[in-house]
Each structure stands twice: as C-alpha cells, then as structure tokens.
Amino acid sequence: MNEILVGVDGTDAGDAALRWSLIHAFLTGRGVTALHAWQLPADIGPGGLYVPSVDDTELAEQARALVDEALARVASTLRLSRRFRCASAR
C-alpha cells in the first residue's frame, strides 16, 4: 500500500499538513499514517553511562494524546494509523 506519512506536532502548521494529507489521500485513494517522533532527554552518568532523565512511557502517552487531539481537530473518515518513534540519545 502506498500511504502518505505526515508529521504531527500539535501546531497550526502541523494541523494544516495533516488536513492536506487527508484531502490528498481522499483524492488519490491512499491511507494516511500520522507520525509523532521525539527524543528522550538524557543525562550522562558516571563513566559516561547513558541515564534517561524521564519516563519514556509517560512521553509515549503524551505523544498518543497529541496525535489523537490533532486527528480530532481535523476529523476525517479516511483510514488512519498512528506511529510513535523515540530516537535514542545513545
């Protein structure tokens, strides 16, 4: 399947990109994947050891909420899927 991937960040510009992708998907018969990516803040511990400074589960929940809120704002009947990516600071 040839889906459209759109980044979602909770801004007006992000909502406009999501809205455009949904309209384009409708016109071309494609699906849309709404993606929000983040990077874990990290501290360097003793000996240069990577130490996450926040709970990644909480950040993932916040990301899901952000995408859900954006989708609600630009409601659509197209098939949608969500993806969440966390870039490692290592």
More confident residue, 59 or 8: 8
CA dist 59 and 41 (Å) reads 10
Give the total residue count for the chain.
Answer: 90
Quick check: 35 and 15 in contact, CB under 8 A?
no
Tell whether pTM > 0.85: no
Dihedral sign from CA coordinates of 24, 80, 11, 38:
negative
Q: What is the pLDDT of residues 16-75, one digit of tens each?
A: 999 899 889 888 989 889 999 887 666 666 666 666 667 778 888 888 999 999 988 886
Give me the residues paired with residue 47 across strands: none
Tokens 């399947």, residue located: 1
Dihedral sign from CA coordinates of 39, 40, 45, 49:
negative
What band does 79 get if pLDDT is binned at 50, 70 and 90?
A: low
